[in-house]
Amino acid sequence: MKIKDVEFVLSAASAKQFVRDGLPQVAFAGRSNVGKSSLLNRLLQRKKLARTSSKPGRTRMVNYFLVNKRFYFVDLPGYGYAKASKTDRQSWGVLIENYLRESAEDLRLVLLVDAKIEGSPLDGQAFEYFRSLGVAQLVVATKIDRLPRSKRSRSLKKIAERLDLEQVDDILPVSAETGEGIDKLWAELALG
Q: How many CB atoms lie within 10 A of CB 114?
A: 21
Site for Mg ion in 27-46 (CB under 5 A): 36-37
Considering only residues 31, 42, 58, 60, which one is a binding residue for Mg ion as defined by CB under 5 A? 58
Per-residue exposure over 77-113, b if at least 16 CB sit within 10 Å of its own CB, e if not: bbbbbeebeeeeeebbeebbebbbeebbeebbbbbbb
* Nearest to ligand GTP of 32, 155 (CB atom): 32
Q: 5 and 81 in contact (C-beta within 8 Å)?
A: no
* Nearest to Mg ion of 103, 142 (CB atom): 142
Q: Output the smallest distance, CB 38 to ligand GTP, in A.
A: 3
Measured between alpha carbons, how far is 53 from 156 in angstroms, rounded to an integer? 25
Q: Which stretch binds Mg ion (CB under 5 A): 8-16, 52-60, 99-107, 133-141?
A: 52-60
Q: Output the smallest distance, CB 78 to ligand GTP, in A.
A: 3
Q: Choosing among ligand GTP, Mg ion, none, which partner's interface includes residue 170 (Cβ < 5 to 8 Å by kind)?
A: none
DSSP summary character for residue 136? E
Give the residues lining the site for ligand GTP (CB under 6 A). 30, 32-38, 52-54, 56-59, 78, 142-143, 145-146, 175-177
Contacts of 60 (CB under 8 A, 6+ apart): 77
Site size toward Mg ion, by CB under 5 A: 4
